[in-house]
A = this chain, B = another copy of it.
Amino acid sequence: MQPKMTIAELQSFIARDFPQVADIYLVEAIGEMSARIRMTPDARHLRPGGTVSGPSMFSLADCAVYFALLAMIGPEALAVTTNASIDFMRKPEPGRDLIADATLLKIGRVLAVGDVQIRSDGSDAVLARASMTYSIPPKS
């Protein structure tokens, strides 16, 4: 199954429907059942010490899998996050972008499930991993 959206189309979708993150999330790659999102944190997302906050990483994880899903099923769908499980393992390195690699494991009739790993740009160490479930609304 090939993606239904290009990087440019997904980036335009984000600009329109996710304006609050459009300037900090960059779609770097879309693949079959996968997407890579780069986050350039700004002051809103930083904790004292310059590391990205947990909720900001949660948001990145959620968006990365969601964008990977939209790229596969098309932007008309309004999937809703129903479950998330996240492990925070290491602190992000200050001053670095975050790279989120999302992989979809299932796109079912009513549920989609994906995994995501977040790293600091240029590092192999996984800062956080998450699995996300989305409920896909029935077609009207």
Please give the residue numbers on chain A whose beta carbons come within 8 Å of chain B beta carbons, in ascending order.
20, 44, 54-56, 58-59, 62, 80-90, 105-106, 108, 110-111, 113, 115, 117, 126, 129, 131, 133, 135
Contact = CB atoms under 8 A, between A and B. Distances in A.
A59 B84 CA distance: 13
Contact of A87 (B20, B62, B105, B110): B105
A80 B88 contact: yes
Q: Is the interface of A mostly helix, strand, loop or mixed?
A: strand
Given A82-B88, A87-B105, A105-B126, 14 more contacts: A54-B62, A55-B55, A55-B62, A82-B87, A82-B89, A83-B88, A84-B86, A89-B106, A90-B106, A106-B126, A110-B135, A111-B111, A111-B135, A129-B131
